[in-house]
Amino acid sequence: MHATTPVPYRVLARRRETADTVTLDLVPAAGPLRPFRPGQYAMLYAFGTGEIPASVSGISGDTLGHTVRAVGKVSEALCRAERGDWIGARGPYGTVWQTPPAGSDVLIVSGGIGLAPLRPLIEEVLDRAKEFGTISVLAGYRNPGEQLFLADLPRWRSRAHVHVTVDHPEPGWPGATGLVTGLLDSAGYRPDRCAAYLCGPEVMMRATARDLLRRGVPADRIRASLERNMRCATAWCGHCQLGPVLVCRDGPVFGWDHAEGLLSTPER
C-alpha cells in the first residue's frame, strides 16, 4: 500500500465538545498506523468528501483521538460521523512536542481549539509529574461555550495549576476574563527553567512568546505549533510554505527561536 493511501479506522466514540466541535476516538480496522507522538497530525479522510489535516488530541494504544471543528465540507462531514462509521487516516506526520527536560517547570498555553494538539502533551507530562517542577495549563477562549475537554479538567487540576479565561464572559462565569497572557502572572514558573508550549491563533502565540521572552524565558525553551495552510502532508503542494520551510513536513512544532521569523511571512 502506498504511504499516502488512507487506511480504514472505525469511530469508537464521539464526544461533542462545543456546538461545532467534536472529538472522535478512532480504532484501526486492520493494522494500525505507526505510533503517534504528541504534536503530530494525521490526514483524516471523509469518504466521498475529501481529507484534512487534524492534530492528534488523544493517544491510547492504537486508539487515536482527533478533535475537529466544523468549518468546511470535510470537517463538517467528519463532525457528523457517528459511532461505528468509517474514516480514512494516514500518518503520522510532523514534528513533536519535545518532552520537557527533567526538573523543568512546564507551562502550556492555548487559545481556542489550540488546546487539542496540546492535550496529549498534557497527559504525558501529568503521567510523569514527579519528574518536573510546577506544571501549569493556561487556556483562553472567546466565551465559556467554546471550552474543550471539560471532563478532563478535574483530573488535570488534581496534578497541575489549570486556569481558564474568556474574552466575553456570560452571567455566572466564575473564571478569569481577558486575554490568556493575563494569566501568566498566576502561573508559577522559574523563567530560566521553564519549558513553554504554545498553540492557538498566531496573534495569541506572538503575544505570549513576547511576554515570556520579556520575563526571561529563553527562546529555545518556547515551542509553538504553526498549523498554517497544511493540505497534502507530503510537501508536494506548497500551500504551507513559510519562507524556507514547508510546515507540513518541517513542522508544525517549531522552537520559538525559529518560529518567530517564520511568522513574519505573510499568509498565502
pLDDT of residue 146: 96
Neighbour tally for 182: CB within 10 Å:
15
CATH number of 7-93: 2.40.30.10
Average pLDDT on 226-250 reads 80
Q: Per-domain residue ranges for the chain?
A: 7-93, 105-264
pLDDT of residue 230: 75
Position 133: which residue type?
G
Residue in this structure with the C-alpha cell 521572552, named with its chain if needed: 213
Percentage of the chain exceeding pLDDT 90 = 81
pLDDT of residue 216: 96
Cis before 35? omega within 30: no
> Running DSSP on this structure, what letter comes out for residue 72?
S
Percentage of the chain exceeding pLDDT 70 = 97
Average pLDDT on 51-65 reads 96
pLDDT of residue 188: 84
Residues in the chain: 268
Q: Give the model confidence (pLDDT) of 179-208 as tens digits.
A: 999 999 988 899 999 999 999 999 999 999
Is residue 228's pLDDT more than 80? no
Q: Give the model confidence (pLDDT) of 60-105 as tens digits.
A: 999 999 999 999 999 999 999 999 999 999 999 999 999 999 999 9
* SS3 labels along 107-122: EEEEEHHHHHHHHHHH
Residues 192 and 175: their CA atoms lie apart, in Å, by 29
* 79 belongs to an annotated ligand binding site: no
* 232 belongs to an annotated ligand binding site: yes
Q: What confidence tier does 115 reach under pLDDT thresholds 50, 70, 90?
A: very high
Average pLDDT on 247-261 reads 88
CATH architecture of residue range(s) 105-264: 3-Layer(aba) Sandwich (3.40)
Q: Please, are residues 233 and 239 in contact by the beta-carbon 8 Å criterion?
A: no
Backbone angles phi and psi of 190, in degrees to 5: -95, 115
pLDDT of residue 240: 78
Average pLDDT on 117-129 reads 97
The helix or strand, by DSSP H or E, that contains position 199, with its residue range, turns out to be: strand 194-199
Is residue 255's pLDDT more than 90? yes
Residues 149 and 17: their CA atoms lie apart, in Å, by 7
Residue in this structure with the C-alpha cell 496540546, named with its chain if needed: 118
pLDDT of residue 265: 66
Q: Please, are residues 100 and 72 in contact by the beta-carbon 8 Å criterion?
A: no
Q: What confidence tier does 267 reach under pLDDT thresholds 50, 70, 90?
A: low
Residue in this structure with the C-alpha cell 497544511, named with its chain if needed: 230
Best CA proximity match to 93, nearest among 240, 223, 206 = 240
